[in-house]
């Protein structure tokens, strides 16, 4: 077995160069797969290498999602809500979402949870360095980390390399960006009902395009307030700050508060077909097309994809997970909405208001999770303006 010294700041580690599995990217997708491997006895004697550019030592993001039962990462769920508010100039309501629970996981809690489990597993090696490339070969795959080559039976990659990103010239592609800035704020007096989350509030200005705020109360005096947009271009940083300040002042009616944490993120919303991988390189997360094109939701799609990968590996099958014909219909729905939003045919505030006004919230949640049946989808599709969506759907169907 080949060995070599691998450099990290102030330290040298003696690493093997061949593994059963290599995971590139220690974010949500890579660590979700790693955690499942560590939980299953099939992988107890498998050598696993995880590579990322830097240690996960700060809270760089927050994931929100809904589930009907405790999930795999229930231990690190930071807060839960059984009720959500929806606001717009067209329709507003409070929803009881049972059997769903709306959940929030902080990135730092997730990283610490999985990486602490990895530290206790002798068959898992974590290395920090620049991953320059991944590639497949005749009987496996390889990864270049800080100029050194490592090989494995399979490489699971969650890094968006240039060759697997939407081209700058969109052509027939739609390429919106979901971009958001969030402030974790604390108030000197109680100001929030921590039992109710604001799922979407479209009452803010729509001058840039589809824009909304969500508010996640974590305590009576603490909440995450996130200013979110679906647009083609990013805003200057001061515009996000102004949007947050305006919302907190005019809708939350707060004057006295402090910002204890800040987060900023960008999620692609595109009908670009991200590669699932090639040969024994399997792409994960956004890099593998596991971000919902029309909403940016990723966490639950990553979990479902990770489950499917593990099932195939345990059955000693190739772990490539492909959509069947029936599943591909959700891609048509996504492209249709992107068509409408990208061409400014209808505002996102109106679209989501119609969906929530004319459907049970549970049906909307299932649709956003790609878990509805065709009958439910017909009801959802009929709840938005037909004269706008039908031509867009036909256009996408024959594109």
Domain that holds residue 307: 3-59+107-165+272-314
Q: With bands split at pLDDT 50, 70 and 90, how would you rate the model's confidence at 374?
A: very high
107-119 vs 28-39: helix crossing angle, rounded to 10: 40
Number of other residues whose CB lies within 10 A of the CB of residue 15: 17
Residue 170 pLDDT: 56
The whole model's pTM is what?
0.93
Q: How many domains does the structure of the chain reveal?
A: 3
Mean pLDDT of the region 85-99: 97
Judge if 119 and 36 occupy the same domain: yes
Residue-wise pLDDT tens digits, 289-335 = 999 999 999 999 999 999 999 999 999 999 999 888 888 999 999 99
- Note whether residue 231 is domain-resident: yes
The 3-state DSSP class for residue 53 equals: coil
Give percent of the chain with pLDDT exceeding 90: 88
Q: How far apart are CA 342 and CA 354, in angstroms?
A: 19
Q: What is the pLDDT of residues 184-207, one digit of tens each?
A: 999 999 999 999 999 999 999 999
Give the pLDDT score at 172.
Answer: 76
Average pLDDT of the residues in 67-85:
97
Per-chain mean pLDDT for the chain: 93
- Is pLDDT above 80 for 169? no
Q: Looking at residues 124-137, what average pLDDT do you find?
A: 94
Does 179 share its domain with 242? Answer: yes
pLDDT computed for residue 5 by the predictor: 45
Do 27 and 54 have their domain in common?
yes
Handedness of CA 248, 250, 253, 255 (dihedral sign): positive
- Tell me the two tokens of residue 144: 């270049």
Shared-domain flag, residues 260 and 278 = no
In this structure, the answer to whether residues 391 and 278 fall within a common structural domain is no
**Residue 171: pLDDT band with limits 50, 70, 90:** low
Residues 9 and 131 in one domain: yes
């Amino acid at each position: 077995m080949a060995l070599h010294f691998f450099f990290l700041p102030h330290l040298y580690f003696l690493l093997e160069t061949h593994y059963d599995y290599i995971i590139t990217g220690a974010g949500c997708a890579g660590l979700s797969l790693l955690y499942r491997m560590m939980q299953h006895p099939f992988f107890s004697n498998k050598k696993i290498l995880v590579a990322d550019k830097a240690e996960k030592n700060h809270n760089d993001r927050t994931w929100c999602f809904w589930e009907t039962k405790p999930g795999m990462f229930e231990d690190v769920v930071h807060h839960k809500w059984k009720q959500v508010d929806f606001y717009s100039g067209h329709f507003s309501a409070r929803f009881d979402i049972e059997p769903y629970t709306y959940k929030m996981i902080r990135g730092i809690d997730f990283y610490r949870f999985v990486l602490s489990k990895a530290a206790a597993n002798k068959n898992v090696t974590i290395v920090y360095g620049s991953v320059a490339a991944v590639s497949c070969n005749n009987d496996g795959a390889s990864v270049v980390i800080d100029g050194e080559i490592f090989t494995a039976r399979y490489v699971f990659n969650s890094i968006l390399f240039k060759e697997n990103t939407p081209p700058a010239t969109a052509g027939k592609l739609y390429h919106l960006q979901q971009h958001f800035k969030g402030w974790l704020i604390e108030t000197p007096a109680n100001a929030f009902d921590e039992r109710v989350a604001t799922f979407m509030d479209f009452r803010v200005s729509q001058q840039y395009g589809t824009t909304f705020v969500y508010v996640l109360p974590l305590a009576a005096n603490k909440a995450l307030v996130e200013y979110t947009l679906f647009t083609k271009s990013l805003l200057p940083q001061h515009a996000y700050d102004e949007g947050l300040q305006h919302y907190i002042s005019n809708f939350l009616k707060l004057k006295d508060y402090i910002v204890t944490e800040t987060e900023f993120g960008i999620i692609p919303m595109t009908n670009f077909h991200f590669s699932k991988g090639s040969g024994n390189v399997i792409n994960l997360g956004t890099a593998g097309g596991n971000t919902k094109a029309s909403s940016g939701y990723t966490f639950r799609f990553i979990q479902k994809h990770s489950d499917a990968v593990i099932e195939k590996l345990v059955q000693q099958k190739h772990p490539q997970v492909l959509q069947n014909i029936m599943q591909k219909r959700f891609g048509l729905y996504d492209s249709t909405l992107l068509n409408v939003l990208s061409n400014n045919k209808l505002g996102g505030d109106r679209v989501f208001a119609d969906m929530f006004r004319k459907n049970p919230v549970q049906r909307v949640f299932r649709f956003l999770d790609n878990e509805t049946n065709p009958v439910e989808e017909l009801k959802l599709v009929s709840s938005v303006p037909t004269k706008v969506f039908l031509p867009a759907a036909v256009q996408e169907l024959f594109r």
